[in-house]
A and B are shown apart, each in its own frame.
Chain A
Amino acid sequence: MIRIVDKLKKGLERSRRELGEFFDAALGRGILDENAATELEEALIQADTGPQTAEELVEDMRVWMKNAGGGVIAETLREALGLRISRILRSAEVPANSNQIPKITLIVGVNGTGKTTTAAKLAARFSADGEKIILGAADTFRAAAVEQLKIWGERLNIPVIAQAEGADPAAVAFDTVQAAINRDCDRAIIDTAGRLHNKTNLMAELEKVVRVIKKLREEVEILLVLDAAVGQNGLVQVKCFAESLPLSGLVVTKLDGTAKAGIIVRAVAELKKPVLYVGVGEGIDDLIPFDAEAFAKNLIS
């Protein structure tokens, strides 16, 4: 657990000072007058929580202050805010672990969020746990995407099931699951092409991938990958993907940058999809299980 917090901290440290100062200014006096409330709201907005969540959180803090009575110091106010955010982040139910063998994990998301890297990192992670893994390269659209996953497969010594570029992604997914069954794998991880959630035909293609997988195995873990730098559109992404597919949860990548991914707070609150993993660095082991406290703490420190 310590390692997770440290990693997150390390990733977020660089951006801490500026935003941290902002929060300090807002919370430092230990009172939440109009000025402090505005500053706090702006600090939250700067962390991409969006205006609505920022307002709600400030209001929550007002109520909390009232109940707490006088004599509140900045640190307790900060703690209360962190607690409130982490409670929201934990409010979505994490799906139960499946007993199905092989487990199937499908990676989806808009373009450029880091799906292929996430697929590789997940494969490395489970492989290190002793699982026998197979990767499926169902991004048959982007030039050289198959090649990219194959290179990861070679590096990790994990087989990659692939067809030619332009092949039907559902067919690749089917082949991957079939291969996982035939080769007694514990898990198949399938990468898909990035697609903007407002493109109906591409979303339908993804629905087909899931249908086809379900012909072989009933349970499919579907992970939506979000870029930490995403703004308010992150909410729309979760909503649209969740409408098309039974999402299991979210992966937030690139948290080692300066972006705080505050929109995740609203996405979890409104759409009840849990964050399962976060990406905090370039290293193959830098994809770690989500820790709501660490995420919240870093959002406001």
Chain B
Amino acid sequence: MFEALTERLNRAFRDLSGYGKITPENIEPALREIKLALLEADVHFKVVKEFLSLVRERSNGKEVLDSITPAQQFVKIVHDELTKVLGGESAVAEAASNTAGIYFLCGLQGSGKTTAAAKLAHLFGNAALAALDLQRPAAVEQLKVLAERIGAKFIPPQFPNDARRSAAHIRDIFPSLECKHLIVDTAGRLQIDDELMNELKDVHEIINPSETVMVLDAMTGQEAVKVAEAFRARIGLNSIFLSKTDGDSKGGAALSIRFITGIPIKWIGTGETPQAVEQFHPDRFAGRILGMGDVVSLVEKAAKATDLKQAEKAAKSLMKGKFNFELFLDQMREMKKIGPLSELISMLPGGSTLPIDAIPSEKEVSRFEAIILSMTKEERRNPELINVSRRDRIAKGSGSKPDDVHRLLKQFRQAKEMMSVFSGGKKISKKIGRMFGM
């Protein structure tokens, strides 16, 4: 549907003969590809314009290193600039500064405020959750249930028809709960709804939070900046919580807000449970916007779960272009520990463009395991050996159908192809190397 930027750039630079300089002439098609990629990532069109001039400036006449193609060099420049725009190093520190205090959440309807409130409470620990969403039916109940799930204290609205009086009650009762943090959930509202925006201003004043957080859906389009500016004008914003980043949207709206308003993105929601929350990392996010895959997050996840020795073995064989069923089995077992395969693959560079049927489901993985275990050692090491009679024997041995074996072989070939793609570029194979601790 949408091409990843690296593919776009490769195409833009394809006609470039040999390795050379990025020149004012050959840079234009590449800049156009970047423009398209950023716009398709929902980056605000004004930000795109300014950003392109930044990149043009930095790339003009830049020597391209011998070892990499102009496309990759260019991607690096774009990636660096994006990281800078997203706040660079300082953004990490900003995100880590969860000082004790009162957090006030606001945003559009359906942006994920109630879920984000629970996530922050879980992340901070020792927090109380207060419900001020008196609009949406059962919103209070939702927060209450989430509070119970994470063991946080819960403050219900005392006056179900009066957000202002309920806010005053929350403010007054909070000190007696002896919690370090207070997180206040509010009703979703359109930034142009004067009545509800006035109410928001009032309850904000009453609560007098130390930090005002806007929750932004990562799938939001060009309007995001306008929304953030309107909320900021009314109540002031200190930070952004970017929700639903476990989807496949690029989240360019967050970049636009950071670029135009300077409001830092501090946290990202990475799943539906209260535990699924992470601090924001600008470099990873830059990669996401460019469709380069979230390699670093994958490394962290893998590092937690992977048996390093085995991974090293796998990585070494991969680098040599060897890939057989023994490795495939190891990998599938490791992957099972790390998490759903589809989630992992989407983090790999180019992974978002893979057809879904290339990714075996959890159930299939178990069946595949049985099939592989019914192969001889010889067959596992040299899958080419498997002919029809061997296939039927393996099927019988593993209690599956010849079709299943056939499908496994197909998946295996796809995986092999994938691996060669991922370890293709020098830079990427280095990353994979690092990922496996080499």
Q: Does A236 contact B (CB under 8 A)?
A: yes
How many chain A residues touch B (Cβ–Cβ < 8 Å)? Answer: 50
B217-258 interface code vs A (CB 8 A; 1 in, 0 out): 101111110110000000000000001101111101100000
Give the CA-CA distance A225 to B111 in the complex, in Å.
15
Q: With a CB–CB cut-off of 8 A, which chain A residues contact B149?
A: 143
How many chain B residues touch A (Cβ–Cβ < 8 Å)? Answer: 53
CB distance from B334 to the nearest CB of A (A): 20
Q: Does B23 contact A (CB under 8 A)?
A: no
Query: Does B247 lie within 8 Å of A198, measured CB to CB?
Result: yes
In this complex, what residue of A is CB-closest to B45? A45
In this complex, what residue of B is CB-closest to A18? B226
CB distance from A144 to the nearest CB of B (A): 4
Partner of B340, one of A48, A147, A201, A233: A201
User: Which of these binds chain B: A61-69, A172-180, A207-215, A255-263?
Assistant: A255-263
User: Which of these binds chain B: A26-34, A91-99, A109-117?
Assistant: A109-117
Q: With a CB–CB cut-off of 8 A, which chain A residues contact B142?
A: 142-145, 147-148
| Segment 227-252 of A: residues with Cβ below 8 Å from B | 227, 229-237, 239
CB distance from B243 to the nearest CB of A (A): 8
Q: Does B40 contact A (CB under 8 A)?
A: yes
* A197 with B247, Cβ < 8 A, contacts A51-B40, A114-B109, A114-B110 known: yes
Give the CA-CA distance A201 to B272 in the complex, in Å.
14
Q: With a CB–CB cut-off of 8 A, which chain A residues contact B39?
A: 45, 50-51, 232
CB distance from B165 to the nearest CB of A (A): 22
Q: With a CB–CB cut-off of 8 A, which chain A residues contact B141?
A: 143-144, 147-148
| Segment 142-160 of B: residues with Cβ below 8 Å from A | 142, 144-146, 149
The interface centre, meaning the residue of B108, B146, B191, B340 with most chain A CB atoms within 10 A of its CB, is B108
* A200 with B226, Cβ < 8 A, contacts A112-B217, A236-B1 known: no
Query: Does B137 lie within 8 Å of A229, measured CB to CB?
Result: no
Query: Does A232 lie within 8 Å of B221, measured CB to CB?
Result: yes
* A48 with B138, Cβ < 8 A, contacts A143-B146, A257-B192 known: no
CB distance from A293 to the nearest CB of B (A): 23
Q: With a CB–CB cut-off of 8 A, which chain A residues contact B138?
A: 144-145, 147-148, 150-151
Partner of B108, one of A14, A232, A257: A257
Query: Does B359 lie within 8 Å of A200, measured CB to CB?
Result: yes
Give the CA-CA distance A239 to B355 in the complex, in Å.
13
Q: Does B342 contact A (CB under 8 A)?
A: yes
Q: Does A196 contact B (CB under 8 A)?
A: yes
Give the CA-CA distance A45 to B48 in the complex, in Å.
11
Partner of B223, one of A48, A144, A145, A197: A48
Query: Does B35 lie within 8 Å of A51, measured CB to CB?
Result: yes
Q: With a CB–CB cut-off of 8 A, which chain A residues contact B109?
A: 112, 114, 254
In this complex, what residue of A is CB-closest to B42? A231
In this complex, what residue of B is CB-closest to A243? B356
Partner of A231, one of B136, B137, B249, B359: B249
Q: Does B36 contact A (CB under 8 A)?
A: yes
Q: Does A191 contact B (CB under 8 A)?
A: no
Query: Does A229 lie within 8 Å of B223, measured CB to CB?
Result: yes
Q: Does A3 contact B (CB under 8 A)?
A: no
Query: Does A259 lie within 8 Å of B36, measured CB to CB?
Result: no
Q: With a CB–CB cut-off of 8 A, which chain B residues contact A152?
A: 137
Query: Does B41 lie within 8 Å of A229, measured CB to CB?
Result: no
Partner of B247, one of A110, A148, A258, A263: A110
Q: With a CB–CB cut-off of 8 A, which chain A residues contact B146?
A: 143
CB distance from A252 to the nearest CB of B (A): 13
In this complex, what residue of B is CB-closest to A244? B356
Query: Does B253 lie within 8 Å of A231, measured CB to CB?
Result: yes
Q: With a CB–CB cut-off of 8 A, which chain A residues contact B219?
A: 110, 227, 230-231, 233-234, 237
| Chain A residues at the B interface, C-beta cutoff of 8 Å | 14-15, 42, 45-48, 50-52, 110-114, 141-145, 147-148, 150-152, 196-201, 227, 229-237, 239, 254, 256-260, 262-263
What are 11 pairs between A and B in contact, CB < 8 Å? A42-B45, A45-B39, A46-B222, A111-B112, A112-B217, A142-B272, A147-B141, A151-B137, A227-B217, A231-B42, A258-B190
| Chain B residues at the A interface, C-beta cutoff of 8 Å | 1-2, 35-36, 39-42, 45, 108-112, 136-139, 141-142, 144-146, 149, 190-192, 217, 219-224, 226-227, 243-244, 246-250, 252-253, 272, 340, 342, 346, 356, 359, 361-362
